[in-house]
Amino acid sequence: MAAKIPVTVITGFLGAGKTTLIRHLLQNNQGRKIAVLVNEFGEVGIDGELLRDCQICDEGEQPTDNIVELTNGCLCCTVQEEFYPTMQQILARRDRLDSILIETSGLALPKPLIQAFRWQEIRNYATVDGVVTVVDSQALASGVPVGDLAALEAQRQADPNLDHETPLEELFEDQLACADLVLLTKADLLDAQELEKVKSWLEKEIPAGSKIIPCQEGQINPDILLGFNAAVEDQLDQRPSHHDHEEDHDHDDEINSVEWITDQAFDPKRLTQQLKHLVEQEEIYRIKGFVVVENKPMRLVLQGVGKSIQSFYDRPWRPEEPRQTRLVFIGKSLNREDILAILDR
């Protein structure tokens, strides 16, 4: 039997830098043929489109052959309905692949996904080579695992079954407990003492032998991310989870996404101020999408976590694509009409 295809799972919270990491890896793949599963939350495939624009496919090959977006909630909730047929589709091309990357949702537990690799139809052909957990070091230095403390508290209050731990805190611990490697993003924003404090705390939370590496903008040698040979699915008992003794787990049903698509062009500074005002009015955890800028041929990529909103121009608008502003808002009990009313002011 041919060698199993190694699968690397990239996990971490919204805004931690998972997509940036994968984008850099694809652009510096050293000749590897890599399939990517993007677990997208929201109806507009923003992350998938960013990854497709890396232009890693062979001449004549459609990018959608290599990148599959799972749009129906988190992987652990759709693993039977969507993950299995998707993996079957990719494994049918295994003779053309060197490895597979799976980017999990920021709200997904990693362990149920890895357990799916015990299914005979998958384990015969693929193995979880390693789990990489991406951590926002700036947030962690502030004492929280994600960039917005208000959003963290909102999720804690939304779950009536919790006393002092929030779903995000438990999820963060589960992500760390599964990690073969922890990547610290935004480490350049910390001084040496703060960074050492963060690393010292993390070392107590991750499995023995797992490594912690600071990185900026996802720039890390692919040889570090790939080739763990961990066969994670065979040693899950060594990676404890808060949900090990539960038959199933619940996500906060109040978390939802709203998409906004408009032909309108914007001034980036004014739009950023509008979005910051929107975040003050609504429980929005994440904003991401593309923006048409007035008198600008370039497409603006916009990403926001809490009140922190960043943007950059990634490429010119293509002649065949609609010049539309498309944003996805992820948060708690979001109402489309309320969001549009604020944005239209």
Section 285-294 average pLDDT: 90
Cα distance between residue 23 and residue 18, in whole Å:
9
Helices assigned H by DSSP within the chain: 18-27, 46-52, 75-78, 84-91, 110-115, 120-123, 137-141, 149-158, 167-177, 192-203, 222-225, 268-281, 336-343
Nearest C-alpha neighbor of 258 from the set 310, 335, 342, 324: 335
Average pLDDT across the chain, whole number: 81
What is the set of domains in the chain, with CATH numbers? 5-238 (3.40.50.300), 255-343 (3.30.1220.10)
**For 321-338, what is each residue's pLDDT tens digit?**
899 999 988 888 888 898
Q: Is the predicted pLDDT of residue 135 greater than 90, yes or no?
A: yes
Cβ-contact 258, 303 below 8 angstroms: no
Helices assigned H by DSSP within 92-148: 110-115, 120-123, 137-141
Name the token pair of 5: 């295809």
Of 297-301, 302-306, 327-331, where does the model show the most confidence?
297-301
pLDDT of residue 258: 87
The amino acid at residue 95 is D
Q: Is the predicted pLDDT of residue 166 greater than 50, yes or no?
A: no
Cα distance between residue 220 and residue 181, in whole Å:
12
**For 53-72, what is each residue's pLDDT tens digit?**
776 666 556 666 677 777 65
Q: Is the predicted pLDDT of residue 100 greater than 50, yes or no?
A: yes
Alpha carbon 74 to chain centroid distance? 10
Cβ-contact 215, 136 below 8 angstroms: no
The mean-pLDDT minimum among 104-113, 146-155, 211-220 falls in 146-155
Q: Are strands 5-12 and 126-136 parallel, antiparallel or unpaired?
A: parallel
pLDDT band at 30 (very low <50, low <70, confident <90, very high): confident
